[in-house]
Amino acid sequence: MYPTGHLTSDEFWTMQRAIEDRLRAEARTFPTFALRDWTGPRVLGPWERENDVLTTVTLRHGELETELETGDDVSSPFLDVVTTTKDPARKAMSTMLAAVGLTPMSPEYRRRRQSIEDAPTRAAQVVVDGDAVRLDVRGGEDRWWAWGTHDGRGLVLEGRHTSIDDAALVSADLDPYFEGLRSSIAAARGE
């Protein structure tokens, strides 16, 4: 498909609904998890496919802003919950590397990646649909990453200004996340 022009607003939102319907249908067989009792902003984050099969879904809880974007010291709670068919330790590592702006093309990639790999890891337990799940955790008080498995799926959590001790997960209803995504897109489009 080659772009030949701009979509009208109606065409764009029709396409967006089709994408959501496809993901919603795939999610019936792909468990996703949400932060229990979360009342703040929610948005569907990145998802990945391989060979046209869903492999990763991210549900975001909170406002993802940085100090660089706002000029303020951002301290509102934020938690990404990633469900994946991939190795959760590798997925967590790629998330940590991205957080510090490292790519394999970065001159200090190997040294800094090794530094992240050598960072201390601690264990934590998170309740997922009533089951206690052991996760490995790296990071500090203000920002951390955790990973493990639940029912054969990888879980990766990234938290900012929140404690892993407060992270209890339940099977997700995707509708509030789609609504958050639509609101974010509409704001970016100036609608």
Q: How many helices (DSSP H) and strands (DSSP E) are in the chain?
A: 5, 9
pLDDT band at 113 (very low <50, low <70, confident <90, very high): confident
pLDDT of residue 74: 59
Whether pTM exceeds 0.85: yes
Q: In whole angstroms, what is the distance from residue 164 CA to residue 143 CA?
A: 10
Query: Any residues with CB less than 8 A from the CB of 148 and at least 6 apart, and which?
Result: 88, 126, 133, 134, 135, 136, 154, 155
Tens digits of residue pLDDT in 34-60: 999 899 999 999 999 999 889 999 999
Q: Is 66's pLDDT higher than 60?
A: no
DSSP one-letter string for 145-181: EEEEEETTEEEEEEEESS-GGG--EEEPPSHHHHHHH
In the prediction, which pLDDT does 179 show? 93
Here the contacts of 10-14 (C-beta below 8 Å, separation 24 or greater) are: 12/189
